[in-house]
Amino acid sequence: MNITKEQVDDLNAIVTVALSKEDYSEKVDTTLENYRKTANIPGFRKGHVPMGLVKKQYGKAVLLDEVNKMLQEALNNYLTEEKLDVLGNPLPMAQDEFDWDAEELTFKFELGLAPSFDIDFGKDAITHYNIVADEEMLNGQVERIQKQFGKLVGHKEVIKDAEITATFVNEEKEINNKATFTFDKIKSEEAAEKLLGTKIGETVTLSTKGLFEDDHDLMEVLKVSHDDAHGLDIEVTATIEESNTRDLAELNQELFDKLFGEGNVTSEEEMKAKIKEDAEKQFVQQSDQKLLNDVTETLIENAKFDLPAEFLVKWIQTAGENPMTEEEAKAEYEKSEKGLRYQLIEGKIITENNLQVTFDELKEFAKTYIKAQMAQFGQLDPSDEEVENITMRIMSNQEEVKRLSDQVMSQKMITFFKDNANLTVKEVTYEDFVKEAYS
């Protein structure tokens, strides 16, 4: 066997694999002999079929199969030994009138090579948001908790600040849904005037256009699709079922224990401090995700390198279960090019900085994840044995391991960016963060 490489350019190469009969004949003969022992051919006893007949019937198929196995193994070993960083898989080059009976079989494969490039974070600083829970947010959260655990007070008619339960109907659109919403969600002044003072059991007709501040509320109240809710302009009848307000719950030890466990919080100040701590933990996740997105965009924009586009389009044509046309493959390449560029950048960062995910790291992350999930269902103090058993079940599931590994690697990348990217820390409230980050 002889393998050679022709460098077409920096991003493309052709590998030639030459096989002599000595390379594959023994394996072919062994396979055919096994066929001979097991073949059921009319007129011959099992194990006594003439080899000539076996070769005539199975010889070419066995030859193709054994040669293909050898080629795959040889190519994989060659790419590893030569440390060639390839994109996609080697593509066999078509050869007209290939002679399978020749003394030497020669095969050519196209390779798409990964580009060489430098990591460049750019000159302009990237904003890293430090999101804080301000006093206004904390007061609002405390009031929401007081309302949630407060005493429900029923009214005979709709009043301001009420929680309204109504049944909405529109026969043409097949809408018939009972829903609860707060009066302050109403945007339409006309609808607000109609609803105010409406008694329990009475029906009013409302226009859906501009009914709520947010069309997503319309989607929930009417139980219509996301697309139907946006711009929906019809009339619905609303039969008032309930009109309730809530007396705010008293901020006392009973409420603190119900929310945070017995004795963990003993005052409104401690309650706010706990809410602030929990909220800002959640904010860190959102801030980190925003940072990851921004650094990713910056790296893709600043890392200037070419890709073996022509090769990749050809590879995409044959890589899936169903072959694509050249036009379909080009469209798919254009959609995936940005992601491929970041994969190369991320791979370079991981390799050069040894950011591998170890088994112990993955196991500890899984335990933390499991405890957090159990806490959401009220299991605040699970035993070590219980957590260990669940962890091992998760670690035996390849899909779960892949999902958790991606999360651990994402955290490693965020830490790397915090240490190495050109960042400017900006402290903002959550409201300002949403305005700045997603406007």
User: Domains of the chain (ranges plus CATH)?
Assistant: 2-113 (3.30.70.1050), 151-247 (3.10.50), 268-438 (no CATH)
Contact yes or no for 286/131 (Cβ under 8 A)? yes
Q: Residue 401 corresponds to which tokens in the numbers above?
A: 């391991």
Please state, for a pLDDT cut of 90, what percent of the chain lies above it.
74
Residue located via tokens 């933990």 = 281
Average confidence (pLDDT) over 221-231: 90
Instruction: State yes or no: pLDDT of 437 exceeds 90.
Output: no
- Give 41's pLDDT tier (boundaries 50, 70, 90): confident
pLDDT for 39: 77
- Give 16's pLDDT tier (boundaries 50, 70, 90): very high
Between 99 and 111, where is the model more confident?
Answer: 111
Picking from 391, 387, 299, the residue whose alpha carbon sits closest to that of residue 345 is: 299
Sign of dihedral through CA atoms 208, 212, 213, 217? negative
Instruction: State yes or no: pLDDT of 161 exceeds 90.
Output: no
pLDDT for 372: 85
Q: What is the pTM for the complete model shown?
A: 0.72
Side-chain half-sphere exposure of 419, counting CA atoms within 13 A: 8
pLDDT for 97: 82
Least confident of 2-11, 74-83, 117-126: 117-126
pLDDT for 280: 94
Q: What phi and psi values does residue 132 have, to the nearest 5 degrees?
A: -115, 150
pLDDT digits (tens, 9 = 90+) for 29-40: 898 888 888 877
pLDDT for 57: 83
Average confidence (pLDDT) over 161-171: 94
Q: Following DSSP, what letter does each residue of 343-382 receive, concatenated?
A: HHHHHHHHHHHT-PPPHHHHHHHHHHHHHHHHHHTT--S-
Instruction: State yes or no: pLDDT of 130 exceeds 90.
Output: yes
Instruction: State yes or no: pLDDT of 439 exceeds 80.
Output: no
- Give 123's pLDDT tier (boundaries 50, 70, 90): confident
pLDDT digits (tens, 9 = 90+) for 271-302: 999 999 999 999 999 999 999 999 999 999 99
pLDDT for 320: 83
- Give 101's pLDDT tier (boundaries 50, 70, 90): confident
Average pLDDT of the chain to the nearest whole number: 92
- Give 226's pLDDT tier (boundaries 50, 70, 90): confident
Contact yes or no for 240/200 (Cβ under 8 A)? yes
